Structure 1
Amino acid sequence: MTMGSMNRRRVLAGMAAGAGLTVLGSGRAAFAAPTELVWATWDSNGHLEYVAPFEKQTGAKVKLSYLNSEDAQFAALKTGTASDWDIVNPSLNGSWRYIKGGVLKQLDLAKMPNIAGMYDVFKSTDKVKDEAGNTFAIPYLWGLNPLVWRTDVLSEEPTYSTLFDPKYKGQLAMRDYALESIAIAALHIGIPREKAFTLSADELAECKKALIAQKPLLRTYWQTIGDLTNLFATGEVTCAFSWRVPYDALKDKMKVAMAKPKAGIMGWCDCFGIPAGLADDKLELAYAFGNYLLGADYASAIAEIGNYATTSGIVRDKLTKEKQEAIFIDDLSVMQSFMWPVAPPNYSEWLKVWAEVKAA
């Protein structure tokens, strides 16, 4: 789930066993006095139980400031209306505008040694760097937007082309979102994932034809993940492009599974960033928190409670095979198929196509 205005699954369970404190070595960090760190993040990423080990080690309190949308986060940083934020949460694909907008501080990577444990696909990304190669954000949490499907209805694991198959007319659902839906049509008609978000006018026209042909096959275009979950629960939908939420909500009640199409997997990734105006006396604590997000304690808690994976493999081998599968790290080759949705320069044309598809 890049997560824009997405509020991912709220976690209510208790604290999972951590894998040992990892921030600034062992023992209590020598900050002058307990202080407060305000973390602007999504409600699924930040809970008291997720940050308790950090608070215990440093003596600092982490205040959680939940975001409503990435657009609002960027605007608040740009206008200076969120001067109390000490840590912010740009998306991997949205980091470029924060960097160009001058609202993030250039990071000193040496102050976050847990970066060494990051998976290469995140460690090597240029999406968090400026043109000179300086780093302004660190990917820390990620996930996939899979196909959710009923294993007792479909005879085999679905692909994106399943969403265009007349055999399942009336049982399919797509998200009401031009960017992802048009890209899925592109993959369906054979356009490689490297070009799925940079379509030519002719390719965009072919995607439009495919989506218009698909429309009578759909039960709905879903707008909220709660609505889609209910459609699965009532048996009205048996396969859909989705977030993982319906699977988590229904896996103990009905036969559902998640598919990761080989053609390309839509991913989301959240990043750690420091506002450009953060006071110098808070920098040490901010870096310690960034390091913590890549450490074992946060990774263990959010895997066990929230069913999400951090960008570090630090606890991977300590998780059960079932948990690894649930958070998509059982088979790391999946990372070779990542697609990070990015609106193209001609996105207004995409929106026009999407409006014409829905009106057809």
Structure 2
Amino acid sequence: MATLQPIAAGAAELNLLTWEGYADKSYVAPFEAASGCKVNATYVGSNDDFAPKLAAGGGVYDVITPSIDTIGLMRQAGFVAPLDTARLTGFDGVYPQFADGADVRTDGAVWAAPLVWGSISLMYRTDKVSGTPDSIGILFDPAYKGRISLWDDKSAIYWTARYLGYENIYDLTDEQLAAVEAKLIEQKPLVRKYWATAGELTELYANQEVWVSNTWTGLQSKEINGLGKGFTVTEFSPKEKSEGWMDSMQLVKDSPNEDCAYKFMSYMLSAEGQCGIIRTTGYFPTVPGAVAGCLSDAEKVERKVNDVAFVDTLRMWQMPARLDKYLEVWNAVKAAP
């Protein structure tokens, strides 16, 4: 990066549509100072937010960071442009499993720059849940009626499908989807609230409203346990497997701030960006070489550095074969009394 200088008057802007923690000032401020690009961030709570916001916002955004099950949809919908990897410093250091993955590289072009990855696990208050739970069944246990929270996202279908024993969770039949819908509606009286953002779930625990939930592994548990509320939460991967995800940076089609967009994406693949975002979120880096100097040996093990085989232990997200049907089911669940 260039020597840090104050942002000049009239500096270029970069508008992000992204997740909490992905534009933290601890690492964005140095980028702004070095690049002259002022970063503005709008946050999403679900991958289902990207398409409607882009459709409504026109040219408002320059870079988006959808997950692995959504980057293909962004391309198919015409919201994003292919990346010029010659302008993308650091892309050659991304794990090949991600850089060459479906929807990242397709139709002879690169459509996304992998940013971070991780899993979605289950979390509970150790003082309220007896024993050592090991199953998704904890989300459906009447013993915790009114104390359960589930992410407000179509992935609720994936969790429920695995709990019901279905293997083809991204291509469920009509009959299987009907069973999933019925199970989620049956669960509704147990749910205190569907959480939409990391901060909202943290507040639900902090206010003693929730004891059990799914969670973005590494992020919310750290926040909750750091509040000093007199209790602790712990995470676990269920026997039905945790879900896996990978978030990528995509260039919005016809972005007026393309130069800043490429500077930002390159920065986020550098040591400064990768170390910054994983320090803030607790997630795993996509550029293992970039974090060699900022993590201890124990942290490298924890963040799966050079252990991308961990992916094989997860149910990695895919875009459902019938996305519209999945969204229809999830919306029907939320609308049910």
Instruction: Give the shorter-chain TM-score range.
Output: 0.7 to 0.9
Instruction: Name which one, 1 or 2, has greater alpha-carbon Rg.
Output: 1
Q: Which of 95, 101, 112 is the matching residue for 1:137? A: 112
Does 1:107 pair with 2:83? yes
Q: How does 1:324-339 map to 2 (within 5 A)?
A: 332-336=308-312, 337-339=314-316
2:248 counterpart SS class: strand
Match of 1:198 in 2: 171
Q: Which of 166, 179, 202 is the matching residue for 1:229? A: 202
Does 1:47 pair with 2:24? yes
**1:41/1:214 Cα in 2 relative to 1: closer, same or farther (>3 Å)?**
closer
CA distance in 1, matches of 2:54, 2:141: 40
1:263 counterpart SS class: coil
152-161 or 223-232, larger mean C-alpha shift: 223-232
Does 1:125 pair with 2:101? yes
CA distance in 1, matches of 2:14, 2:122: 35
Q: Give the Å deviation of 1:187.
A: 0.4
**1:334/1:156 Cα in 2 relative to 1: closer, same or farther (>3 Å)?**
farther
**1:48/1:256 Cα in 2 relative to 1: closer, same or farther (>3 Å)?**
closer
Code of the aligned partner of 1:257? T
1:66 counterpart SS class: strand
Do 1:302 and 1:309's aligned partners in 2 also have CA atoms closer than 8 Å? no
1:274 counterpart SS class: strand
Do 1:173 and 1:239's aligned partners in 2 also have CA atoms closer than 8 Å? yes
Do 1:37 and 1:86's aligned partners in 2 also have CA atoms closer than 8 Å? no
Runs of 4+ in 1 over 6 A off after TM superposition: none
TM-score by length of 2: 0.76
Code of the aligned partner of 1:61? C
CA distance in 2, matches of 1:177, 1:291: 32
Does 1:74 pair with 2:54? yes
Q: How does 1:1-360 map to 2 (within 5 A)?
A: 21=1, 36-42=12-18, 44-55=21-32, 57-58=34-35, 60-67=36-43, 69-75=49-55, 79=58, 81-82=59-60, 85-130=61-106, 132-152=107-127, 153-166=129-142, 168-170=143-145, 172-175=147-150, 177=152, 179-192=154-167, 195-211=168-184, 214-215=187-188, 218-225=190-197, 226=199, 228-243=201-216, 246-252=220-226, 253=228, 254-278=231-255, 286-317=261-292, 318-320=294-296, 323=299, 332-336=308-312, 337-340=314-317, 342=319, 344-347=323-326, 349-351=328-330, 354=333, 358-359=336-337
Do 1:105 and 1:274's aligned partners in 2 also have CA atoms closer than 8 Å? yes
Cα deviation 1:16-46 (Å, max 9, x = unaligned):
xxxxx5xxxx889xxxxx9624132335211
CA distance in 1, matches of 2:50, 2:139: 29
Cα deviation 1:291-323 (Å, max 9, x = unaligned):
221111111122223434442223444413665
CA distance in 2, matches of 1:71, 1:310: 26
CA distance in 2, matches of 1:298, 1:325: 20
Cα deviation 1:55-97 (Å, max 9, x = unaligned):
4554x333324245423542256x4x43xx5444444333234
TM-score by length of 1: 0.72
CA distance in 2, matches of 1:93, 1:309: 18
**1:285/1:156 Cα in 2 relative to 1: closer, same or farther (>3 Å)?**
same
**Which stretches in structure 1 are left out of the alignment for 5+ residues?**
1-20, 29-33
Code of the aligned partner of 2:286? T
Cα deviation 1:119-173 (Å, max 9, x = unaligned):
333212222344x23122212133433211123433214321222345x342651
Q: Give the Å deviation of 1:210.
A: 3.7
CA distance in 1, matches of 2:223, 2:83: 38
**Which stretches in structure 2 are left out of the alignment for 5+ residues?**
5-9
Do 1:50 and 1:298's aligned partners in 2 also have CA atoms closer than 8 Å? yes
Code of the aligned partner of 2:326? Y
Q: Give the Å deviation of 1:231.
A: 4.1
CA distance in 1, matches of 2:326, 2:113: 27
**1:63/1:255 Cα in 2 relative to 1: closer, same or farther (>3 Å)?**
closer
Do 1:295 and 1:314's aligned partners in 2 also have CA atoms closer than 8 Å? no
Do 2:26 and 2:276's aligned partners in 1 also have CA atoms closer than 8 Å? yes
**1:222/1:27 Cα in 2 relative to 1: closer, same or farther (>3 Å)?**
closer
